[in-house]
Amino acid sequence: MLIEVNVEDCYGLAQQSADASNLPESAASGEIAADTWENWFSVWLENQEEYVPVAPGYEVSLRLTADAEMQALNLQYRQLDRPTDVLAFAALEVDCPQLEEMQSSEPLYLGDIVISIDTANRQAQQQGHPLKTELAWLAAHGFLHLLGWDHPDEESLTQMLDQQETLLRAIGLTIQTA
């Protein structure tokens, strides 16, 4: 399955990697190349094929940012005036008619995932794993939201966390959950 991932690094991991003193502790090891993101999302897409409408290709936007922007987005869209680790804005939730010829020839836009590097870094340190693993964990969580997964109660949260672990194993990463 073909997927294009537009990575928007507003945090500046790629630009600042030469000067690790500007990065949060362990962020330099968390830098992830755009082709790695595409590979991960491609594997995840195949893993979740049953939840994805058939299309000739797929697109996802991934934004890496800081707590300040994440807090503003969280306030604007969830009325919570605090930063969070990941937000997902699913395009498939929008009821917008598409021409049949567009559906058969254009990639399907799944939506946007926004991750706070600041929060991800703190969580990685708390969990005792690399920032790269935490970023993959959060991206997998956001990706599942784009596909319609949600966690309004403990049972659905447990199912979603199990699915995240499956996605991480599929790309060769593991994470310890509480």
Place of tokens 């703190």: 122
| Biggest CA pair distance of the chain | 52
**pTM (predicted TM-score):** 0.85
pLDDT in tens, the chain (178 residues): 788 998 988 876 544 433 444 444 444 445 788 889 999 999 999 999 998 888 899 999 999 999 999 999 999 999 999 999 999 999 986 555 554 544 567 899 999 999 999 999 999 999 999 999 999 999 999 999 999 999 999 999 999 999 999 999 999 998 865 5
Q: Alpha-carbon distance 103 to 15, whole Å?
A: 37
Q: Provide the 10 A C-beta neighbour count for residue 5.
A: 21
Place of tokens 């990575």: 7
- The two tokens of residue 172 are 């060769």
